[in-house]
Structure 1
Amino acid sequence: MSLPVPEDIATTLLKRNECVRALVNQPHTKPELVETLDMPRSTLDDVIRELEQVDLVEYRDGQWYPTFLGQMVFHVHRDYLGQLGRLTDALPVLDSLDTDTEVNWPFIEGADTHETHSRVQDAVMTTLLDHAEAATTVRVVTPNIVAGYGDRFYRNGTSGREASLEVIIPPEVHEWFYSTYPSVATDVLDDPNANVFHASIPFSFGLSIFDSDRAGITVFTDQGIAGLIVNDTNDALMWAEEQYDRVKQNAEPISPRGESS
């Protein structure tokens, strides 16, 4: 017997997924399948023949069963649909990223997406602030700072015993923040628990890492923030660490005004 072609398996499963699902849940006779699937017997005969040709179902002891391949393919397909669902959930936020942004699938898979809504503007930033407050070590690299939240993020990120905050921003953002919020900027630069660096940021999103346990991407738009994507999987954290390290290696520390770095 020749092995089924993956493309044929995919096409048949997509077309006949309902029948495979019924058999994965429980073996059926053909009359039972006719009733379960609510289709004519002649149509069911065609369905079963197509599934059998690609080795997704088999007949044993008077009933139709999914083969081992059929069970595995069904579960892979279900997981694939779940991934599409998560990607669709994140789409309103992801659509605001630059088209050449290097956010990869491991960061999206299994992530929680927090979309900004017009009537609840502060919800996304509140989530980010909560993560900062709960962490002992916070590292941030961002091309932008949201007006009105720099002070709160600093306070939350350095709250608690032995808490530390490390921030990498572009030189122009530092200049703007220092001129707009001079007292806050001075507090940050004078705080031994906070370290601020400037560097060129090669991506359009903000990246935050909390205790190496959780990472978040803040997606900016011209109007503010589109949303926040947070993930705590090992693959997502590994990707976040790589992005942070490649910026940090070229970053220079910012010293208080009047001091040399």
Structure 2
Amino acid sequence: MASSVSEIADVVLKRRNILEYICEYQPDKRTVVENLPESRPTVDRAIRELEDHDLVERTDGVCKPTYTGIIACELCEDFQDSFKMLTETGAELASLPLDAELDTSVFLDGDVFHPPDYAPYETIEPMDEEIRGGEELVAVSEVLIPHINTILEQGMIDDVDVTLLVNDEVLDVLLENQPDSIIPHIESGDAVYRGIDVSRYSLFLIDGEVLYTGIYSQTNHLSSVIRNTNSQAIQWAKDHISGLREGATLLTV
């Protein structure tokens, strides 16, 4: 009888280190015992369980993963990486409202950056460099941070396409304090939107391929930034930005 999803998940999580070792080395049982800290009885039980769920098979004494076992091992690694990212951003995420709408794909295959926890905000160098090298830049933010200024500067270059979506407060600050940086974009026909409604996070999409997601503390300090290139996260960002556009106001001269 085929194993249920919960049964496979349980055995993979329970026997993860042994499954990973078998996937990488395809050893015999003795080699597993010699190179892992588990006792021989534990290894025996683990291999039997992995075999029972068609994750591992033994041929002439050699333990080999099935294709299902390889995929299960990779999924487990993704699961661990995602939860590692949750621990790195946990404090900020815990303070987000329940309607924040961040997609889980944002936490897959990403890198986390932590800006200094004091003002004035400093740019995150990898993000700043990618923005300066981009040709199609989209920024969604309810907080004014230096990266918005970088995007506006890039937008003054003829072959760089800029879309800016901000809340009314950020736009008012830009119009009052930095009219020379924002008004030319509105006059040139760049897509500048006001009145967006997001919940303490920012999105920066570069060339439709790289996504930076900024997460704010309860005091609106940019506490964590996640860089992501996986296709699910990129597609979610595109769809989410499209939805925000529909509810915002496009500024025209």
Q: CA deviation at 1:116?
A: 1.4
Q: Map of 1:156-171 to 2, 5 A cutoff? A: 156-158=154-156, 160-171=157-168
Q: Map of 1:177-192 to 2, 5 A cutoff? A: 177-190=174-187, 192=188
- Please, which runs of 5 or more residues in structure 2 have no aligned partner? none
**Separation (CA, whole Å) in 1 of partners of 2:44 and 2:175:** 74
1:233 and 2:230 are equivalent in the alignment: yes
The equivalent position to 2:153 in structure 1, one of 155, 161, 172, is: 155
**Separation (CA, whole Å) in 1 of partners of 2:205 and 2:147:** 17
**Separation (CA, whole Å) in 2 of partners of 1:124 and 1:93:** 19
TM-score (normalizing by structure 2): 0.77
The equivalent position to 1:251 in structure 2, one of 242, 248, 253, is: 248
Q: CA deviation at 1:104?
A: 0.5
Aligned match of 2:205: 209
Conservation of the 8 A alpha-carbon contact between 1:129 and 1:156: no
> Deviations for 1:70-116, whole angstroms, at most 9, x for unmatched residues?
44433332333233334444445544543321111223322332221
**Separation (CA, whole Å) in 2 of partners of 1:170 and 1:223:** 14
Structure 1 residues 130 and 194, CA gap change in structure 2 (3 angstroms): farther
Structure 1 residues 25 and 117, CA gap change in structure 2 (3 angstroms): same
Aligned match of 1:258: none
Residue 156 of structure 1 aligns with an amino acid whose one-letter code is Q
TM-score (normalizing by structure 1): 0.75
Aligned match of 1:85: 84
Structure 1 residues 174 and 26, CA gap change in structure 2 (3 angstroms): closer
Structure 1 residues 51 and 141, CA gap change in structure 2 (3 angstroms): closer
Conservation of the 8 A alpha-carbon contact between 2:151 and 2:162: no
Q: CA deviation at 1:151?
A: 4.4
Conservation of the 8 A alpha-carbon contact between 2:139 and 2:148: no
**Separation (CA, whole Å) in 2 of partners of 1:90 and 1:181:** 32
**Separation (CA, whole Å) in 2 of partners of 1:39 and 1:231:** 36
- Please, which runs of 5 or more residues in structure 1 have no aligned partner? 256-260
Name the % identity.
19
Farther-moved stretch of structure 1 (70-79 vs 205-214): 70-79
> Deviations for 1:121-161, whole angstroms, at most 9, x for unmatched residues?
65545444433321223222322223x66544421332x33
> Deviations for 1:23-46, whole angstroms, at most 9, x for unmatched residues?
334454554444334555555444
Q: Map of 1:1-261 to 2, 5 A cutoff? A: 2-37=1-36, 41-91=40-90, 94-95=93-94, 97-118=96-117, 122-146=121-145, 151-158=149-156, 160-190=157-187, 192=188, 194-221=190-217, 222-255=219-252, 261=253
**Separation (CA, whole Å) in 2 of partners of 1:205 and 1:40:** 47
**Separation (CA, whole Å) in 1 of partners of 2:249 and 2:41:** 73
Residue 240 of structure 2 aligns with an amino acid whose one-letter code is Q
Count residues with an aligned counterpart. Answer: 252
Residue 204 of structure 2 aligns with an amino acid whose one-letter code is S
Across the aligned residues of Structure 1 and Structure 2, the Cα RMSD in angstroms comes to 3.4
Residue 153 of structure 2 aligns with an amino acid whose one-letter code is R
